[in-house]
């Protein structure tokens, strides 16, 4: 363990980074690359209608697992946004509670956008008989603001345990490096929930429905990627291989193809 400590110190020394005095960096270059990636993802999604399809497929696959009080779910709106997350204020620090044996990057993240999902379903009353009554529900849930402090580090698998039993096999293949990231608990996630409930006489935008949805989404989020939980993703090998080698198309190639 002392070895690890001195390893980390050597790295810091030889990369000219003093965790006490180094000033935070902007990540402007990284924002541009992330923005490009997201842009491409959005274009693909729009062109092929990918997300709606995969979501509808997902819902169709999971329809047996839906609670009995919900009718089939139909997606009515999908907005994948048009802005990009802005990362800033990046600094390297020792991971708290790691006894100076692990380094991590802390990055502020801010996103102002509209990411929306609209669905239509029915609340079913199954008493005294199945489908005795149904209450139509139209919902549009949008995330309009997300602000958080992101922690990123590279590590090996040995120090960590999966949070659910069935993922145990994934953890056992512990060779290689993992990217772990997590958000600090003081995150800010703002929602805009629109609801329309009822058949002919409708109730609109009930606060209780909004808070119900918000708490479900936040629960999902907190259980996966808010400290002390974090996401743990195996990194692919970056060793140069011939099967990963490409070169730019030249004009000659285009002509010969014709």
Partner 1 sequence: MSFEINWQDLGEDEAVNDSIKSFLNSHLQSISLPSYVSSLQVTDFCLGGIPPNITLREISDPLDEFYNHIEKEELPKDKIPEESDSGCQSADGENGDLLPEVQAESDLQFLVEVDYKGDMRIGVSAELALNYPSPSFMTLPVKLSITDLGIHALCLVAYISKQLFVSFLCDVADPILDARESLIDLGSSAILGKKSLERISLIRSIKIDSEIGEQNNVEGSVLRSVGKLEQFLLEVFRTILKKEAAWPSWINLDFNEDPSGNESSDED
Binds partner 1 by CB under 8 A, chosen from 3, 61, 129, 188: 129
The 3-class SS string of 213-247 reads HHHHHHHHHHHHHECCCCEEEECCCCCCCHHHCCC
- Rounded to whole angstroms, how far apart are CA atoms 118 and 124? 19
CB of 191 to partner 1, least distance (A): 14
CB of 140 to partner 1, least distance (A): 17
- Rounded to whole angstroms, how far apart are CA atoms 71 and 17? 57
- Site residues for partner 1, window 132-171 (CB under 8 A)? 132-136
Strands (E), 3-102: 74-79, 86-94
Applying CB under 8 A, the span of 109-117, 122-130, 146-154, 235-243 interacting with partner 1 comes to 122-130
- Rounded to whole angstroms, how far apart are CA atoms 133 and 124? 6
Q: Which is nearer to partner 1, 60 or 212 (CB)?
A: 212
Q: Which is nearer to partner 1, 11 or 70 (CB)?
A: 70
Radius of gyration of the chain (CA): 24
- Rounded to whole angstroms, how far apart are CA atoms 255 and 150? 48
Binds partner 1 by CB under 8 A, chosen from 206, 223, 235, 253: 206
CB of 161 to partner 1, least distance (A): 27
CB of 209 to partner 1, least distance (A): 6
DSSP 7: H
If you search the block for the tokens 């999908």, which residue do you land on? 78
- Give the total of residues touching partner 1 (CB under 8 A): 25
Binds partner 1 by CB under 8 A, chosen from 20, 47, 64, 127: 127
CB of 199 to partner 1, least distance (A): 5
CB of 213 to partner 1, least distance (A): 10
Q: Assess 201 for contact with partner 1 (CB under 8 A).
A: yes
Q: Assess 72 for contact with partner 1 (CB under 8 A).
A: no
3-state secondary structure of 151: strand
3-state secondary structure of 34: helix
Q: Which is nearer to partner 1, 33 or 133 (CB)?
A: 133
168 class by beta-carbon count within 10 Å (0-12 exposed, 13-18 middle, 19+ buried): exposed
Q: Assess 194 for contact with partner 1 (CB under 8 A).
A: no
DSSP 49: T
* Binding footprint of partner 1 on the chain (CB under 8 A): 122, 125, 127-129, 131-136, 197-203, 206, 208-209, 211-212, 215-216
């Amino acid at each position: 363990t002392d070895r690890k400590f001195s390893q980390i110190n050597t790295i810091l020394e030889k990369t000219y980074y003093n965790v006490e005095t180094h000033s935070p960096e902007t990540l402007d270059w990284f924002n541009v690359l992330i923005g490009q990636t997201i842009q491409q993802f959005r274009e693909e999604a729009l062109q092929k209608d990918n997300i709606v399809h995969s979501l509808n497929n997902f819902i169709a696959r999971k329809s047996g697992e839906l609670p009995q009080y919900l009718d089939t779910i139909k997606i009515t709106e999908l907005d994948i946004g048009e802005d990009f997350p802005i990362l800033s204020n990046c600094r390297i620090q020792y991971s708290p509670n790691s006894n100076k044996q692990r380094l991590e990057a802390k990055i502020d993240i801010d996103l102002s956008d509209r990411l929306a999902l609209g669905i239509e379903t029915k609340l079913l009353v199954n008493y005294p008989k199945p489908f005795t009554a149904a209450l139509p529900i139209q919902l549009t849930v949008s995330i309009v603001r997300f602000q958080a402090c992101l922690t990123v580090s590279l590590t090996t698998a040995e120090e960590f345990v999966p949070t659910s039993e069935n993922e145990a096999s994934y953890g056992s293949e512990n060779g290689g490096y993992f990217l772990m990231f997590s958000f600090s608990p003081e995150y800010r996630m703002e929602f805009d929930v629109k609801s329309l409930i009822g058949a002919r006489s409708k109730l609109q935008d009930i606060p209780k429905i909004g808070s119900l949805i918000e708490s479900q989404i936040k629960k999902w989020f907190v259980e996966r990627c808010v400290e002390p939980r974090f996401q743990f993703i195996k990194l692919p090998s970056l060793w140069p291989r011939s099967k990963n080698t490409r070169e730019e198309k030249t004009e000659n190639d285009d002509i010969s193809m014709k």
